Amino acid sequence: MKNDNGINKIQKTVMGVLMNFILIVFSLSCIFPIVWMIYSSLKEKRAFNADIIGLPKAPTLVNYTRILTNSDYHLAESMFNSVRTTFLSIVLIVLFSFIVGYILARVRFKLNRVLYVMFLMGMLIPIHSLLVPIYVVFRNCGLSNKWFTLLLPYVSFGLPMGIFLVEGYVKGIPVSLEEAAAIDGSSFSNTLWKIILPICKPILVTVAIIQIFSCWNEFSFALVLLKDVSLQTVPLALTQFKGQFASDYPKQMAAMLITMSPIVVLYFVFSKQIIKGMVAGAVKG
């Protein structure tokens, strides 16, 4: 009996070490690119080209000073554009996803399922096939090359995923809750905003997180619909570090680290909510 316990203990320890080792390797594989970016941004272009992985022999901040002192790079402007576009897109996506998702889940009307499927179809259409038609429509309507231009495609293409998640989540909420509210005299909008909205908070956070990343990183629409350099978003501004025949990777990495900072700040400030939302999304979505 004692011997069995000993073997179990050894098995547990070995398993624990093995599992931890695997997890540590996975964690390192996630963290390493960022660490690599940080120390590579401290190298000069030639030092980086000569040794891509190695640590910098003569660390320098020259990439940062070049980026921050050259107005041609307009990184601050592009960050502002990205923050504005992402923030407004998320507000609209979350708001519309919640309302539409709730109505599709709860209100019975004739074309309910048809409408739902039509929204979901938005997830199936490859964006690149729509670039030229959307450009033509935007140009003819005078909507291209404006500060709000990107809001329209971002919200439109963000809605299918949002509606899909909210609809599924609302279906999981017992109808009796709304019935009880109705018996107590709560109006439709009161029930929607004061009772259902707080319950849906985890899924809405999930929607917001997914869409923040997709809007912040979106490239194709930003490239095609915006001509004015002063309206460029971060992913577009970062392309300028790549030339026709050569790329300045350390400078690109320094720029990426600078432009990543708002998202990192956002993550640390809302990390609790984000983890909660991710988990809620994983279970309910």
Contacting residues toward other proteins, per CB under 8 A: 44-46, 49-50, 62, 66-73, 75-76, 79-80, 131-132, 135-136, 139, 223-224, 227-229, 236, 239-248, 251, 258, 261-262, 264-265, 268-269, 271
For other proteins, the closer of residues 179 and 228 by Cβ is: 228
Q: Token pair of 192, please? A: 């929607």
In angstroms, what is the minimal distance from the CB of 191 to other proteins?
36
For other proteins, the closer of residues 214 and 220 by Cβ is: 220
In angstroms, what is the minimal distance from the CB of 41 to other proteins?
13
For other proteins, the closer of residues 180 and 264 by Cβ is: 264
For other proteins, the closer of residues 2 and 128 by Cβ is: 128
For other proteins, the closer of residues 167 and 248 by Cβ is: 248
For other proteins, the closer of residues 44 and 178 by Cβ is: 44
In angstroms, what is the minimal distance from the CB of 109 to other proteins?
38
Amino acid at 179: E
Helix H, strand E, coil C: the string for the chain is CHHHHHHHHHHHHHHHHHHHHHHHHHHHHHHHHHHHHHHHCCCCHHHHHHCCCCCCCCCCCHHHHHHHHCHHHCHHHHHHHHHHHHHHHHHHHHHHHHHHHHHHHHCCCCCHHHHHHHHHHCCCCCHHHHHHHHHHHHHHCCCCCCCCCCHHHHHHHHHHHHHHHHHHHHHCCCHHHHHHHHHCCCCHHHHHHHHHHHHHHHHHHHHHHHHHHHHHHCCHHHHHHCCCHHHCCHHHHHHHHECCCCECHHHHHHHHHHHHHHHHHHHHHCHHHHHHHHHHHHHHC
Mapping DSSP to helix (H, G, I), strand (E, B) and coil, where does residue 142 land? coil
In angstroms, what is the minimal distance from the CB of 201 to other proteins?
21
In angstroms, what is the minimal distance from the CB of 6 to other proteins?
40
For other proteins, the closer of residues 9 and 139 by Cβ is: 139
DSSP 55-66: PPSS---HHHHH
In angstroms, what is the minimal distance from the CB of 258 to other proteins?
5
Decide: 280 and 202 in contact? Cβ < 8 Å: yes
In angstroms, what is the minimal distance from the CB of 162 to other proteins?
27
For other proteins, the closer of residues 74 and 156 by Cβ is: 74
Phi, psi (5° rounding) for residue 92? -70, -40
In angstroms, what is the minimal distance from the CB of 97 to other proteins?
28
Distance (Å, whole) CA 80 – CA 86: 10
